[in-house]
């Protein structure tokens, strides 16, 4: 069966059908999400935090995303796979963005790329889409700019609403096929969703977006400690993995594992 295409997402919006997106970084998670019917998988630079042990997305490299994109595209047949363009790999010019996006497609096998920013990256989005590349935009709180934005803060409140609307219009106008809105007041996100023809994908952007995305280790309870308000934990994978690991270690120590059943004659 063929992969999900960008026009399927546009049609879903026209029909009022909501869908879920998840991040994916490796073979097993990608397979499970595809089996669950998740139409779009994002190889996000959130990998910096949830895969690579970094404290932000800033250190993530093009090579890091390429490695994980290859794993996800090799492990799936149906999902549309979007590769995040890391910090520093697209901001300088449309040409820089084009060179990075081409690598994500040729070397990573991605069907689309995502980049952060609205009005300020419209020239990048325009060149990429003119070249036949499917581009997902990301506005509101943009984690790669956390140092300039002064930390994890809701964007688009008060006077910020005009900027958010301008960013949303700019990315659609430039040719983006969808737009992530992160940490935006629900009412503003609803207004953007109603105005734009392209699907909006919310994360901390309220219930009225066309789609929702979560970072999968947050969604499945694999991450430890405090999670942002917009995260809902649908499982306790960390607790389950801890239990299994402790049981394995205990059985090895007390000689319960392995038995004849797991041994060769
Ligand atoms: O990197 C990521 O996981 C993201 C999503 C939160 C949209 O950009
Ligand atoms: Na990201």
Instruction: Give the residue-averaged pLDDT of 160-176.
Output: 98
With contact defined as beta carbons under 8 Å apart, do 167 and 192 qualify? no
- When pLDDT is cut at 50, 70 and 90, the band that residue 1 belongs to is low
First and final C-alpha spacing in the chain: 44
Using CA positions, which residue lies closest to atom 1 of ligand 1?
Answer: 44
Give the domain 6-234 fold. TIM Barrel (3.20.20)
Quick: pLDDT tens for 92-139.
Answer: 999 999 999 999 999 999 999 999 999 999 999 999 999 999 999 999
Task: Please report, for the chain, the start and end positions of each structural domain, with discontinuous segments joined by +.
Answer: 6-234, 236-265
Identified catalytic residue from 182, 240, 247, 251: 182
Using CA positions, which residue lies closest to atom 2 of ligand 1?
Answer: 44
- What separation in Å is there between the alpha carbon of 16 and the centre of ligand 1? 24
Instruction: Give the residue-averaged pLDDT of 130-150.
Output: 96
ipTM: 0.99
Q: Residues lining ligand 1, judged by CB closer than 6 Å?
A: 23, 42, 44-46, 84, 138, 180, 203, 213, 215
Quick: pLDDT tens for 181-208.
Answer: 999 999 999 999 999 999 999 999 999 9
Instruction: Give the residue-averaged pLDDT of 227-232.
Output: 95
Determine the Cα angle at 138 with ends 92 and 141, to 5°: 95
Q: State the chain's mean pLDDT as an integer.
A: 97
For the ranges 141-150, 171-180, 195-204, the lowest mean pLDDT is seen at: 141-150
- What separation in Å is there between the alpha carbon of 250 and the centre of ligand 1? 37
Catalytic site residue 182? yes
Looking at residue 225, its pLDDT comes to 87
Q: Binding-site residues for Mg(2+), please?
A: 45, 84, 116
Instruction: Give the residue-averaged pLDDT of 47-67.
Output: 97
- What separation in Å is there between the alpha carbon of 131 and the centre of ligand 1? 24
Determine whether 63 is exposed, middle or buried from the number of CB atoms within 10 Å of its CB (0-12, 13-18, 19+): exposed
DSSP 184-247: --HHHHHHHHHH-SSPEEEESS-TTSSEEEE-HHHHTT-S-S---TT------HHHHHHHHHHH
């Amino acid at each position: 069966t063929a992969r999900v295409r960008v026009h399927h997402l546009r049609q879903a919006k026209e029909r009022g059908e909501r869908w879920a997106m998840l991040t994916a970084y490796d073979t097993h998670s990608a397979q499970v999400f595809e089996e669950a019917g998740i139409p779009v998988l994002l190889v996000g630079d959130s990998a910096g935090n949830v895969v690579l042990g970094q404290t932000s997305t800033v250190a993530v490299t093009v090579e890091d995303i390429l490695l994980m994109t290859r794993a996800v595209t090799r492990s799936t047949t149906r999902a549309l796979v979007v590769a995040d363009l890391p910090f520093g790999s697209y901001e300088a010019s449309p040409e820089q963005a084009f060179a990075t996006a081409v690598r994500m497609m040729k070397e990573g096998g991605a069907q689309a790329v995502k980049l952060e920013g609205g009005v300020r990256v419209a020239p990048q989005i325009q060149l990429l889409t003119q070249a036949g590349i499917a581009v997902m935009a990301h506005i509101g709180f943009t984690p790669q700019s956390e140092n300039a934005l002064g930390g994890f803060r809701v964007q688009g409140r008060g006077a910020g609403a005009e900027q958010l609307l301008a960013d949303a219009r700019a990315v659609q106008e430039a040719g983006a096929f969808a737009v992530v809105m992160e940490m935006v007041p629900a009412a503003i996100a609803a207004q953007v969703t109603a105005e734009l023809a392209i699907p909006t994908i919310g994360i901390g952007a309220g219930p009225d977006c066309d789609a929702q995305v979560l970072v999968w280790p947050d969604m499945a309870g694999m991450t430890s400690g405090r999670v942002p308000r917009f995260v809902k934990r649908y499982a306790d994978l960390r607790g389950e993995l801890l239990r299994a690991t402790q049981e394995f270690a205990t059985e090895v120590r007390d000689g319960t594992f392995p038995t004849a059943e797991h041994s060769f004659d």
